[in-house]
Structure 1
């Protein structure tokens, strides 16, 4: 069947007539046309910060400087040159005083400000993280006989400088690494800050899986690895989000690792003892010896004797290379080139432990038949108890299940 074709549409040839707008649309158009013109905004010119004029160096000198054949001084801007001459005398005096204060800091970094040599020497081997700046750790000496060798730290002084905005130093692509280590804990030290916890955990985890830290025994490493597995620490400290877990790791290392958080001093005894090292920590004193064992790192520390700070009655220097400890039951005499440092550190820790203590230690024995008085032996730890009406020169306390008063001249505050 044939499809029917629609008839063509005839369009008018004249102009298309538009419908007239309604009254509402006319009112809208009038309102739009009668609106006020926008206020012209002032044009703010953009000022470019002028750069200080810097004198360009001679191309020949630049080429020689790159080859290391001459010292090229750093260019100084004209503005800085003019400012130096326009300063008042008071400002110049203050600037000179600042420079004088910065002289120790500039002396430390003077090597960094010297130009590099033409042929740089090969970088030195990276220092082991086990050797602290104080050189208190031990090194394995060459040869068959393993002896403790501690580097000398005489002449090395450190000082904490306050942050200032006047002098700043930085390193670009250094060939060395710097390890920050926690060597010892002070008695009653608080380390709850998140930054401190993170640094301590980084150090503990790194040394746990390292074979070069001879301060930690195999058994101590095994127990710490089990604890880290329990906390699911596989990829480092970054995977630990809870600060409580980090604190448990630090406490486990501080309380269970005998020699890890200790300052090691080289010592020896005159009576033929095998002691080689004196370890001073927040817990007390340990006499140590370096012994060999099977494994990749054959040396480790063996504990010969241990003393708590409560066992120490006094510390005295015997010359410049000897120190004597008066203990509860014996006298300990040690020879060491670090004798003054040993005495200073032990006395500092004992003084910190004596703060806010409720215990005293007997310097001499006191035996009496009077039941109102307290009898004790030399070295006994006596707990102080509150009592009203005690006469001056006497204290009230208890030890061994007995209570009574006793003379203050026979005791001293205990580091407990």
Structure 2
């Protein structure tokens, strides 16, 4: 084979050197020793590590080392070419390694010995031409760049191409150079008929797009928007083009020859003969999305087992390891932001609160805002305390998840499902060449669907499809919409957030499919024609939803919801229905279909804007309906700033009516985002009051001792609001004090006591209890005694005295030794009896019977009653000068020194722990769980709060009780379950949880203090 001609490539002109020119040295040629015929030396040379910096070029065939110096050989070839003389026949074999080492500018001077003894240098490495069976391992060296002249081959029969093979998760093509390279790749492959990755139909559609944009082989110049359109079309609609192809075979008869892995999933392919053109084409036999793939295993070296939702797929490939690694990476990245799980086995619900599904069903995870009937009630300690009745998305739900499928929702065990990639449920009709976009290039229609289902993450992901790098203001607007959070001062995020802006983005027909639809708008942002009319009152029912839904059934339900809105406002006949019926219909539709909530909000806002109804109270009823909606359901995070902006605009406009109710709607919405929203439909009495403009009622609350307090309860008042108001009357204003009190609802003449969550709505509980026991009462009681006692507020002292006194008279604060107490203890008991009598503010001295009632029975039996009476009368002379308030304060001060003061006591009927003798008394305080002897009240077993990992019981139906509580005790490594039988299971769980919250809060506060303050502690 003749030597390939060498071409001298031009480089910048060299600088003049003042010194002597350095000529070619024999040292260069001495780096290439003579070939040896000794086989052992050849093997030894092959095994030596690479230590030379000469570049090696690897090709097929055998390798021999040149005898001639490469520089001299190159110069000789150039001279022959200039003389147009045929090159002499080469004595070298077909494949050689061309080693060309340029001469540096200032090589070191080397003096050679006369004997010309060879210099000791490392032997060159002979590169093997045998490739491994699986994959060719190539290692090269990086050489420094020379600024002088160099030599290269010309007229070679090969070319090197760089291609975009596959799109990885979160890949984009924002960079102009990257976009241009991918565009040119698609352009060249489309015009060529040799690319087997493109089907004839795909090639024809792309050529039509080229023609529409006036692109051909002579003028492949396109602006950035056209390039992005072409790249998106190839990425999203071409089946095989952006895929990595692996050789694969399946079972006999399947015909699988190739496995394609791409950003959309995996495809099974085979080669077929072309129909309209010569050569072969790829045919897709089967497609699986990543939502269908559970996991991939390798039972053997070349075997792949795909565990799919409904089947198993077996393939054989010499690249099995690479296939598995690539698919695992795709699935892992896609699952990170997914809110979906796939069922790995059937689940049959045991009750109405659970969700049934079949293996392979995809379940959408949703937050569980409120407790369900017969579900566990209590708490579990993780990094923070989690209430089981207030499970939230994104937190470990302790073996249970809450989700929805096919319009049904409920709880299900976590071990029945596993995470899966989100299904491609957001799509547009296939006849649209391009999705409608707004002025920032965002995918408006698809994002509207994501907004309607309150999926901010999905909306943000769809917005990324625009592939535009936002400006500073755009980034702020996008971040504000994505987070849905408001600054602490309540101000709206920067950027447009009006209803008109939301309509431009997400309403039906808001965008045009052409890329220059917004070029016709003025710089001032003129509204899309007809969009303003969709935000104004209409007398006629709508025929389709305001927000564009790809699901036609959602649009039909939106039409029904709009008719219900018109009926409630009096603009449409009721047809035998009442206003309560209409409100329940609207609330039920929004509860069953979360995607409708934004739509219904927009419908009500439309009907109260520019209301021109013949009914004088139409607008007022519309605002009343909006008031009810904001109390029950959250809007999506995307719609939230627009809705708040609308309400705040009405509040701040002095010329507009309904400023007061607009402010109430704003407060309701913020409380709904904070507490989850009302759960029970309003009663007829409550609805009549709201329609009449009365949004609050007087509700009776009882403090210990039966002290009555009537509080003003609004539609969205929660238990924490009632606690804060009662504490304010007792002179407590710090949040730490609020956490020590709990609201209880008592029914069935005191037989059933249920503590309320701080975020539980008072009117929801009232509506529920009125159906069970109209004589229910709300009580407020202190359960934690971390804050010091204060005696300046009479209501505070009286309420605490009334709460402590019954436990004292039962002897729960004292330990009763087998021997008679000391005289000092007896005198203290007598003084406490005298203080009790003075606390009644009685004008008379106590009788013997009264004195006996003031002493705990366990102490009263230790000596004769007359002796007790004499001791009490002695102390009465000392306390007679005190007022009733002072007597109560002294009583609290003395009792607070008892060991079990500040405890909540529960009577335990039986216990599964053999170390605890039952029946017994459980005292819960800041030290932990103290199990006391029933008779002597001596401490038998104590568990610190750190050891209590969870407390669970079942929330009973109204009017009933569940007599068991399960306590998980121990640490992370070793835990045991103790089951307690008692009548106040719910109360016990709530009291322990409140203590745990206080402990965790104090620990977190201590860890976040500066080092100096930690030292002080």
TM-score, L = length of structure 1: 0.64
Instruction: Supply the distance in 2 between the matched residues of 1:75 and 1:326 (Cα, whole angstroms).
Output: 58
Instruction: Supply the distance in 2 between the matched residues of 1:75 and 1:210 (Cα, whole angstroms).
Output: 41
1:399 aligned residue (405, 412, 417) = 405
Matched, 1:214 2:214: no
Matched, 1:194 2:200: no
Give the corresponding residue for 1:366.
347
Matched, 1:53 2:59: no
Instruction: Supply the distance in 2 between the matched residues of 1:385 and 1:211 (Cα, whole angstroms).
Output: 49
How far did 1:153 drift? 5.6
| Residues 261-340 of structure 1 aligned to structure 2 (within 5 Å) | 261-340=242-321
Instruction: Supply the distance in 2 between the matched residues of 1:209 and 1:201 (Cα, whole angstroms).
Output: 12
Give the corresponding residue for 2:975.
none
Bigger relative CO (Cα 8 Å, ≥ 6 apart): 1
Instruction: Supply the distance in 2 between the matched residues of 1:285 and 1:73 (Cα, whole angstroms).
Output: 47
How far did 1:407 drift? 1.4
Aligned-pair Cα RMSD in Å: 3.6
**Are the aligned partners of 2:341 and 2:362 in contact in 1 as well (CA < 8 Å)?**
yes
* Structure 1 residues 170 and 371, CA gap change in structure 2 (3 angstroms): farther
Matched, 1:183 2:165: yes
Instruction: Supply the distance in 2 between the matched residues of 1:278 and 1:77 (Cα, whole angstroms).
Output: 51
How far did 1:275 drift? 1.5
* Structure 1 residues 279 and 234, CA gap change in structure 2 (3 angstroms): same
The CA deviation string for residues 33-87 of structure 1, in whole angstroms up to 9 with x for no partner, is xxxxxxxxxxxxxxx76256312679xx6875756999998675684316x99xx
The CA deviation string for residues 263-313 of structure 1, in whole angstroms up to 9 with x for no partner, is 111212234311111111111111112111334423111111111010011
Task: Say which SS state the counterpart of residue 346 (structure 2) adopts.
Answer: coil
User: Any gaps of 5 or more consecutive residues in structure 1?
Assistant: 1-47, 86-105, 112-150
- Count residues in correspondence: 305
The CA deviation string for residues 124-160 of structure 1, in whole angstroms up to 9 with x for no partner, is xxxxxxxxxxxxxxxxxxxxxxxxxxx966123579x
Task: Say which SS state the counterpart of residue 81 (structure 1) adopts.
Answer: coil
Matched, 1:408 2:414: yes
Matched, 1:80 2:61: no
Give the corresponding residue for 2:361.
380
Moved more, 355-364 or 203-212: 355-364
Task: Say which SS state the counterpart of residue 224 (structure 1) adopts.
Answer: helix
Give the corresponding residue for 2:331.
350
* Structure 1 residues 336 and 170, CA gap change in structure 2 (3 angstroms): farther
The CA deviation string for residues 360-396 of structure 1, in whole angstroms up to 9 with x for no partner, is 1111111114121111111111111123523412111
Instruction: Supply the distance in 2 between the matched residues of 1:354 and 1:153 (Cα, whole angstroms).
Output: 31
Instruction: Supply the distance in 2 between the matched residues of 1:215 and 1:234 (Cα, whole angstroms).
Output: 21
Give the corresponding residue for 1:227.
209
* Structure 1 residues 164 and 358, CA gap change in structure 2 (3 angstroms): farther
The CA deviation string for residues 331-352 of structure 1, in whole angstroms up to 9 with x for no partner, is 1111121111111111111111
Moved more, 396-405 or 170-179: 170-179
Give the corresponding residue for 1:15.
none
Task: Say which SS state the counterpart of residue 252 (structure 1) adopts.
Answer: helix
Instruction: Supply the distance in 2 between the matched residues of 1:344 and 1:308 (Cα, whole angstroms).
Output: 17
**Are the aligned partners of 1:279 and 1:287 in contact in 2 as well (CA < 8 Å)?**
yes
The CA deviation string for residues 220-267 of structure 1, in whole angstroms up to 9 with x for no partner, is 111000001111112467521x21110100011111111111111121
**Are the aligned partners of 2:179 and 2:227 in contact in 1 as well (CA < 8 Å)?**
yes
Instruction: Supply the distance in 2 between the matched residues of 1:107 and 1:222 (Cα, whole angstroms).
Output: 52
**Are the aligned partners of 1:202 and 1:237 in contact in 2 as well (CA < 8 Å)?**
no
Instruction: Supply the distance in 1 between the matched residues of 2:184 and 2:219 (Cα, whole angstroms).
Output: 6
Matched, 1:203 2:193: no
Task: Say which SS state the counterpart of residue 223 (structure 1) adopts.
Answer: helix
**Are the aligned partners of 1:396 and 1:406 in contact in 2 as well (CA < 8 Å)?**
yes
Higher helix fraction (1 or 2): 2
* Structure 1 residues 78 and 203, CA gap change in structure 2 (3 angstroms): closer
The CA deviation string for residues 302-331 of structure 1, in whole angstroms up to 9 with x for no partner, is 111111010011111021011111111111
Larger radius of gyration between Structure 1 and Structure 2: 2
**Are the aligned partners of 1:264 and 1:279 in contact in 2 as well (CA < 8 Å)?**
yes
**Are the aligned partners of 1:54 and 1:75 in contact in 2 as well (CA < 8 Å)?**
no
